[in-house]
Structure 1
Amino acid sequence: MVRDRPMAAFALVGTVLATAVVVPAPAPARAATAVCQNPSDPGQVNTETPWHQRWLAPQRVWPFSTGAGVRVAVIDSGTDSSHPQLTGRVTTGFDALRNAPGGDVDCVSHGTAVASIIAAERQEGVGFHGLAPDATIVPIRVSERIATEKDGDTVTGAVFAQAIERAVDDGADVINMSVTLYHPDPDVEQAVRYALEKDVVLVAAAGNLHQDGARPDPVPYPAGYDGVIGVGAVDQHGARVRQSQIGPYVDIVAPGGAVVAATRVFGHNVYDGTSFATPMVSATAALIRSAEPGLSAKEVTRRLLATADPARGDASRGYGSGMLNPYRAVTERLTTAKPVAQPPLPEVPQDAAAQARAERWALFGRLALWVGLALAALAVGVAALAAMLPRGRRTRWRPTRPAAPPPAGPEIDEPEEIFFRVPTSTPRG
């Protein structure tokens, strides 16, 4: 939640990773590592362009920025650096669960999907790619499997705070947190403050526990903290995904319904939720920071929100400032300076000859109008006279009046008249 007033005193305990809808596909899986007890299967390679890429059209932005030189930390289940589209784009990172290096391992694909939306490389024959393909991913591992509110691993405030601080110390310019926590902890609050003081852009999921009006949605953290950009999810029709939460912590929305992203090892699957809308905002922040390194985190945040497109609803319906637009965010410049007064326009010199011609044409037009009206009146008169001539001749131009009707009286039956034909000559004998 982005605000200008000081950060409220909240803290966090417990975590909930946004649930991913995964379409399984049979494929040979890589042998499980020491940290993966039940690794998820990889998906199939996606050859078609996903709807969210057609919508956001990142290729329009790449002539201005591809995210080069920007480090994006992904605090999640880790990121599989062996995926063909992520090879060479993922650092070793940090495993906050074991307090040791090794965030580039993912057992459940959640963190790999998030990272791929940001920085997956463009490859021939593959429809999916990241929005900022030249950005560098710094994976910070805080979970070994996708969790839900009712079952799954929890993350203590200390572990999550350590993940944020480690991301900052590893030089992250943007931190993506597709993690939703619903309890306060002072350690996490302090870690968020530390990241903001170090001029890091913080982007977090708004959560997937919308209550459909039964009761207010639970406040998600760190999206609920001041200075953190809270991201909601919309589908391909621009409508809020049903589970995407509603509240003042939603600052902006991005595609998060049935989006394509990478799985561990190789391949892709389809995912739903605010977890996968969040990296699209993080990737756009990376594009801005790459194009204009001199902008502060606050200025990047302001640019993201100010250039959002109108959405189907307002903030009260879970749409925040509107729909993410990477092209506008990178290319449009914002300023707080006062408007600059422009000098008056010079007077256009008049052409005397042209003016005289115009006046003559205006006079001719007026004369033509009056002549036309006179001719029309004359034609009407001639037509009327032609219609009256035959009748006048029949009556010899004398007025005629209709005969008066006979006076009314009682009806008298007249005797029927009988006529006989009288011969005019005597018939012959």
Structure 2
Amino acid sequence: MALTAVGLPVAWAPPAAADMGQCTFPAKPYEGRPWSLKRVLLEELWKNTEGKGVKVAVIDTGVDDDHPQLKGAVDTKLGKNFLPKNPKKDEYGNVPERGAENGTDDTVGHGTKVAGIIAARPADNTGFVGIAPEATIIPIRQNDAAGNGDTGTLAASINYAVEVGADVINISQDTAEPLKPNSALERAVNAALAAGVVVVASAGNDGLGGNVKETYPASYEGVIAVASSDRNNERAPFSQSGDFVDVAAPGVDMISTVPKGGHCADNGTSFSAPYVAGVAALLVAEHPEWKPHQIAAQIMQTAERSVPGHDRHVGWGVVDPVRALTEDDEPIDEPVAREGLDKGEPPTPAKLHFGETTQERNERLGTYVVVGGGVLVSVIAGGSLVYRDWRRRHVAG
């Protein structure tokens, strides 16, 4: 399908997994530590950095900066709203509010969840926290419940993020239709990468039933395409598969911040991408001189794998945040297969012995010595008895 003047629609892909129940804003705080964070040794992860000074652009449905865990995380001066001045109606016939010009309104809740997974600050009433809790979020509102965002506004949002100095861009959206080469979206992605910006995108939620297709911008070269994994580090059933998938991250029962306070659970690759974006933010803080492809290669190389190399379900494996931040002595340009069985040397054939082996000979000689010694003792003892009897007879006679 050819691009139109306004571009193709983009979808933030509502979850395609188990029903999580209705989430209302505000919500109750989640008191415990979410499973996706329990698997990470956070003190080890943050030993050198928590992402301070790194700017992460969240191109989404907006980010609510009133949430207690996001108040100090959102840069309200750099935020921007790319929704059209006259937005179309939603499925119920309502015209969505365009919201603040700095992108800090979020009537959907999607962007606020994404931002929380990346950079939510610690709070006393919850165990939830962002992967990079000192990073700064640039809120860019580009989509809404009515789907007013398209590839044109997405491309403009990416260009703007680069312009205001983003170090990492998170895009938890994908196109509904394939794009032609050299589209405005592709040019924007390439310009971001050339400017040294790490671009992370969700792979999509249309994988149920084994469906395989390319999604954009995740499929573009240089973008870190993120699939969803479950508690067992296996691909979540809804997660989009394809050769373009680079890595997987937790995407099932994901706890995060929602507008006006509190937390809700959700499913989808939309919430796997920011998990990886948070790791990327930590790596950028730790290695500001590394290029985007080196940040991407580090995340992929240190992922937990079930096969030696790449597969179309989870890419190079499930992201391992601690390993990514601790096995980082030197930058690498691309991931390589590093696990699995090495080809071993063939066993040396045993030599055939037509006689006895050395061990067998030694054992035989030892036996001879023992048996021979016993016989000699018996002979000596027997001879003594014969001599004694002979002497008695002759003395008596």
TM-score when normalising by structure 2:
0.75
Which of the numbers 59, 66, 79 marks the counterpart of 1:75? 59
Pair 1:80–1:15, CA change in 2 (3 A): same
Q: Is the 8 A contact 2:228 2:236 kept in 1?
A: yes
1:329 aligns with 2:314: no
Give 1:21-420 correspondences, 5 Å limit. Answer: 23-24=20-21, 40-92=24-76, 93-98=79-84, 101-145=101-145, 152-183=146-177, 184=179, 186-213=183-210, 216-311=211-306, 315-331=310-326, 332-335=328-331
In the alignment, the residues of structure 2 paired with residue 314 and residue 275 of structure 1 have an alpha-carbon distance, to the nearest angstrom, of 25
* Bigger mean CA offset, 50-59 vs 80-89: 50-59
Q: Which amino acid aligns with 1:290?
A: A
Distance 2:332 2:40 in 1: 27
Amino acid paired to 1:97: L
For residues 178 and 313 of structure 1, do their structure 2 counterparts lie closer, same or farther at Cα, with a shift above 3 Å needed?
A: farther
177-186 or 236-245, which moves further after superposition?
177-186
Who is 2:348 aligned against? none
SS in 2 for 1:260: strand
Change (3 A) 1:198 1:375: closer
Q: Given that residues 294 and 332 in structure 2 are in contact (C-alpha distance below 8 angstroms), is that contact kept between their aligned partners in structure 1?
A: no
Whole-Å Cα distance in 1 between the matches of residues 19 and 172 of structure 2?
Answer: 16
Amino acid corresponding to residue 80 of structure 2 in structure 1 = F
- Give the length in aligned residue pairs: 330
- Deviation, structure 1 residue 318: 1.0
1-structure distance, mates of 2:312, 2:153: 33
Per-residue deviation, 1:190: 1.9
What's the CA shift for 1:372? 11
Cα distance in 2, alignment partners of residues 314 and 372 from structure 1? 52
Q: CA deviation at 1:118?
A: 0.6
Q: How far is 1:382 from its partner?
A: 7.8
Give the CA RMSD over aligned residues. 3.2
Deviations 1:288-327 (A, max 9, x none): 1111111122221222222222136964341111121122
Say whether the 8 Å CA contact 2:251–2:269 is kept in structure 1. yes
What is the aligned partner in structure 2 of residue 17 from structure 1? Answer: 12
- State the SS of the aligned residue for 1:274: coil
**Equivalent residue, structure 2, for 1:402:** none
CA gap of 1:24–1:243, structure 2 versus 1, over 3 A, is: closer
Counterpart CA distance in 2 for 1:306 and 1:10 is 36
> How far apart are 1:98 and its partner, in Å?
4.3
Question: Quick one: distance in 2 between partners of 1:323 and 1:51?
Answer: 15
Cα distance in 2 between the residues matched to 1:373 and 1:76: 85
Q: C-alpha distance in 2, partners of 1:207/1:117?
A: 18
C-alpha distance 109-80 of structure 1, shift in aligned 2 (>3 A): same
Q: 1:263 to 1:383 in 2, by over 3 A?
A: farther
Q: Which amino acid aligns with 1:289?
A: V
Instruction: Name 1:34's counterpart in structure 2.
Output: none
Asked whether the equivalents of residues 25 and 42 of structure 1 are also in contact (C-alpha less than 8 Å), the reply is no
Where 1:276 maps in the other structure, the secondary structure is coil
Structure-1 separation of matches of 2:375 and 2:31: 81
Deviation at 1:59, TM superposition (A): 2.5
> SS at the partner of 2:255?
strand
Larger radius of gyration: 1
Query: Structure 1 stretch 190-199 or stretch 167-176: which is displaced more?
Result: 190-199
Secondary structure in structure 1 of the residue aligned to 2:272 = helix
* CA–CA distance in structure 1, aligned partners of residues 63 and 143 of structure 2: 11
Q: TM-score, normalised by structure 1?
A: 0.69
Q: Secondary structure at the match of 1:204?
A: strand
Question: For 1:330, what is the secondary structure of its paired residue?
Answer: helix
CA distance in 1, matches of 2:375, 2:30: 83
Q: 1:300 to 1:81 in 2, by over 3 A?
A: same
CA distance in 1, matches of 2:241, 2:20: 27
Deviation (angstroms), 1:174 = 0.2
Q: Residues 127-169 of structure 1, C-alpha deviation per residue, up to 9 Å, x if partnerless?
A: 1101100000001111222xxxxxx525222211111111111
The residue identity in structure 1 corresponding to 2:174 is T
The runs of 5 or more residues in structure 1 that have no matched partner are 1-8, 27-39, 146-151, 338-370, 388-429
Letter in 2 for 1:144: D
Asked whether the 8 Å contact 1:114–1:279 carries over to 2, the reply is yes
Q: Give 1:119 deviation, angstroms.
A: 0.5
Amino acid corresponding to residue 334 of structure 1 in structure 2 = E
